Amino acid sequence: MREMIISELSQALHEIARDFAHFLPRLIVMLILALAGWAIAYVVKAVLRSILRLIKFDKLSENAGASQLLAKAALPSATEMLSRFVFWVTWLGFILLGVRALGILGLQEQVARFFLFLPRLFVAMFILFFGLLAASFFSRAALLAAVNANVPSPRVLSLAVRTIIIVFVLSIVFEELGLAEQTMLVAFGIAFGALMLGLAIAFGMGGRDLAKRFLEKKFVRGKKEENEDELSPL
């Protein structure tokens, strides 16, 4: 009986030792991959940061309105944020490769899913950035046009343009990421519909006088504003 126990124990210890001997090289490989990954990610981050500074990415981000959002959230500059993001994605990629090398069955599927998700993440970020850029450009264009045409409440018009574009961009981003697609679709439909209804009511209520003036100017001849001379700028 005693010998049996000792034999079982020694066999169990032997198996553990064998498994550990089997696992140790994989762990070392994982650590090497993580270490090498950190070094590579660091180099990628440094190179990317230089390139972004060279192409004045912060300026672009400022124009897109992204810098202001980052500043409000007490986050670093857009260049720094993107560099850090790429650093972490690269390093995480190497760590996950290392985890895969460990040969743990359950984890392998998660790792594969992560790598499949990466391109979609980048596309979503790309859409978000250029969407913010477009929102900033068109809202400013609307603001300038409204101010120069002496339209009442130009900032409301500009904000409406910005909001519509951002809502539209966010719905595309979430769809790209595959996050709560149905919820986002419904939320987008409700938000967009509410916005349009709100605008329609606002324009209908507030624009009566404007529409009246416009129609009078357009169709009632001889009623030039206060019969005053218009100045030619040139």
Q: Which residues bind another protein (CB under 8 A)?
A: 63, 137, 140-141, 143-145, 147-150, 154-155, 225-234
CB of 234 to another protein, least distance (A): 5
Shortest distance in whole angstroms from residue 232 CB to another protein: 4
CB closer to another protein out of 109 and 228: 228
Task: Give the N- to C-terminal CA distance of the chain in Å, as an integer.
Answer: 113
Residue 131 · residue 169 · CB < 8 Å: yes
Pick the closer one to another protein by CB: 109 or 226: 226
Those residues with Cβ within 8 angstroms of residue 36's Cβ, 6 or more apart along the chain or in another chain: 94
Smallest gap, in angstroms, from Cβ of residue 149 to another protein?
A: 7
Two tokens, residue 176: 């790209």
Judged by beta carbon, residue 108 or residue 163, the one nearer another protein is 163
Find out whether 91 and 41 touch, Cβ atoms under 8 Å.
Answer: yes
Of residues 209 and 225, the one with the C-beta less far from another protein:
225
Nearest approach, Cβ of residue 153 and another protein (Å): 9
**Beta carbons of 165 and 134 less than 8 angstroms apart:** yes
Residue closer to another protein (CB basis): 137 or 188 = 137
Minimum distance from residue 57 beta carbon to another protein (Å): 15
| 79 versus 171: smaller Cβ distance to another protein | 79
**Residue 107 CB contacts under 8 Å (≥ 6 apart), including other chains:** 99, 100
Residue 155 Cβ, how far from another protein at the closest point, in Å?
Answer: 6
What is the CB-side half-sphere exposure of residue 29 using CA atoms within 13 A?
A: 13
Please state, as a whole number, how many other Cβ atoms lie within 10 Å of the Cβ of residue 94: 20
To another protein, the closest distance from the beta carbon of 47 in angstroms equals 21
CB nearer to another protein: give 23 or 137: 137
